[in-house]
């Protein structure tokens, strides 16, 4: 877990990188950018906001031969060894990004390389290198007095509420390829940023395993439980799955299946589905791990617990007490109307 509120931008350099394929060039600043209180505040919000809002999906630098051959890893290591070298090394980072910018879809933009201090990573203070890129330009209006009237000037600039691309490289776990967080608002060129430029792979830690296992369960519920049973059982299965994760510190697949799978006939289906779909979620060989609470909380927010009916009625089931949906909601078939129905039992209506 990260806390970016105490983070300071010690040094920052800004360059512009074009698209090689379109014969656009590269502009390298001769000096670092001189920060003041106003620009520091705006840049901190621009750079850090998406990391506060996004799930913490960690990566690490890699290379088919050895991580020492990863270009960004080498440059960042030099910066951590000598923070005073940030500007010189920022030109290497911008040049490396320019060399990867040869696909027609890649947009030109400004590249910011910053040396950051006082980040909190898992309650430990660390330093980091931030690499950010602004791409999409937006029209905005400026107003100027002209005689007795106001004149409109149309100008272009970046929206500081939406960072296009960025990564935080923490001075942590160097031997494993550092810990890296990345954001990318423009999904059309993700391979260019993560693979071609950064050269990173997803870090398979407990957070990664917890999150991906729950995603896998959600798709199993949709692809197997729903066709085999009904929407109510699909929702209840995910309720039981999330609650199992929430009340346990560690995960063991056999215990999970025995507790969560009310229909034993679906256990072989689950195992077969894992062989078939597990590689997509990188959990094909995963059967035990420590559960990450934050990943469970994030999953609970995203998983739908609503039954939508074609009669424009919704039934919302409680994630915290799934047994209520089991005990007090019954599904049946009305021969006269030739329609399904849900029968809901209750003592009294609660005030909203």
Burial of 247 (0-12, 13-18, 19+ CB in 10 A): exposed
pLDDT class of 85 with cuts at 50, 70, 90: very high
Token readout for 302 is 């995203």
223-226-232-233 Cα dihedral, nearest 10 degrees: -80
Residue 120 has pLDDT above 90, yes or no: yes
Burial of 305 (0-12, 13-18, 19+ CB in 10 A): middle
Residue 44 has pLDDT above 60, yes or no: yes
Mean pLDDT value of segment 219-242 = 88
Angle between helices 266-277 and 206-220 (to 10 degrees): 120
Residue 84 has pLDDT above 90, yes or no: yes
Residue with tokens 């911008």: 94
Mean pLDDT value of segment 293-315 = 80
Residue 232 has pLDDT above 90, yes or no: no
Of all residues in the chain, what percent carry a pLDDT higher than 70?
96
Residue 135 has pLDDT above 70, yes or no: yes
pLDDT class of 133 with cuts at 50, 70, 90: very high
Residue 182 has pLDDT above 80, yes or no: yes
Bridge partners, residue 8, by sequence = 117
Mean pLDDT value of segment 133-160 = 87
Lowest mean pLDDT among 25-29, 41-45, 199-203: 199-203
pLDDT value, residue 352: 62
pLDDT class of 191 with cuts at 50, 70, 90: confident
Q: Where are the domains of the chain?
A: 2-203, 207-344
Burial of 226 (0-12, 13-18, 19+ CB in 10 A): middle
39-40-43-47 Cα dihedral, nearest 10 degrees: 180
Whole-angstrom distance, CA of residue 70 vs CA of residue 59: 14
pLDDT value, residue 315: 77
Highest mean pLDDT among 96-110, 111-125, 220-234, 282-296: 111-125
Mean pLDDT value of segment 61-77 = 94
pTM across the whole model: 0.73
Residue 303 has pLDDT above 80, yes or no: no
Residue with tokens 């950010």: 132
CB atoms near residue 138 (< 10 Å): 10
Bridge partners, residue 58, by sequence = 181
Per-residue buried b or exposed e for 7-34, using 16+ beta carbons within 10 Å of the residue's own CB: bebebbbbbbbbbbeeebebebeeebee
Q: What is the pLDDT of residues 241-292, one digit of tens each?
A: 998 999 999 999 999 999 999 888 899 999 999 999 998 888 888 899 999 8
pLDDT value, residue 324: 63
Which of 281 and 12 is assigned the larger pLDDT? 12
**Residues whose CB is less than 8 angstroms from the CB of residue 256 and which lie 6 or more positions away in sequence, other chains included:** 241, 244
Lowest mean pLDDT among 7-16, 56-65, 109-118: 56-65
Whole-angstrom distance, CA of residue 236 vs CA of residue 144: 61
């Amino acid at each position: 877990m990260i806390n970016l509120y105490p983070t300071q931008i010690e040094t920052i350099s800004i360059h512009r990188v074009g698209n090689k394929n379109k014969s656009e060039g590269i502009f390298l600043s001769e000096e670092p950018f001189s920060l003041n209180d106003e620009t520091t505040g705006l840049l901190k919000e621009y750079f850090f906001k998406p990391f506060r809002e996004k799930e913490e999906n960690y990566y690490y630098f890699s290379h088919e031969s050895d991580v020492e051959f990863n270009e960004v890893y080498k440059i960042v290591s030099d910066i951590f060894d000598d923070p005073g070298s940030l500007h010189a090394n920022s030109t290497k980072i911008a040049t490396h990004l320019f060399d990867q910018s040869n696909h027609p879809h890649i947009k030109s933009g400004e590249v910011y390389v910053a040396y950051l201090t006082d980040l909190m990573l898992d309650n430990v203070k660390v330093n980091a290198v931030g690499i950010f890129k602004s791409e999409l330009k937006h029209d905005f209006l400026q107003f100027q007095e002209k005689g007795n009237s106001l004149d409109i000037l149309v100008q272009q600039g970046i929206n500081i509420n939406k960072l296009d691309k960025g990564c935080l490289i923490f001075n942590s776990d160097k031997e494993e390829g550092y810990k890296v967080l990345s954001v990318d608002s423009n999904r059309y060129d993700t391979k260019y940023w993560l693979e071609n430029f950064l050269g990173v792979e997803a870090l398979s830690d407990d957070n990664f395993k917890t999150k991906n296992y729950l995603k896998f369960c959600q798709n199993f519920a949709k692809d197997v439980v729903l066709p085999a049973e009904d929407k109510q059982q699909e929702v209840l299965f995910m309720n039981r799955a999330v609650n199992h994760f929430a009340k346990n510190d560690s995960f063991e697949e056999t215990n999970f299946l025995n507790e969560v799978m009310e229909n034993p006939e679906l256990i072989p289906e689950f195992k077969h589905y894992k062989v078939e779909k597990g590689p997509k979620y990188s959990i094909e060989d995963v059967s035990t791990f420590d559960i990450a609470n934050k990943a469970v909380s994030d999953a609970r927010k995203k998983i739908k617990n609503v039954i939508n009916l074609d009669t424009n009625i919704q039934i919302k089931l409680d994630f915290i007490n799934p047994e209520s949906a089991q005990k007090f909601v019954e599904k049946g078939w009305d021969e006269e109307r030739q329609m399904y129905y849900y029968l809901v039992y209750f003592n009294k209506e609660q005030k909203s």
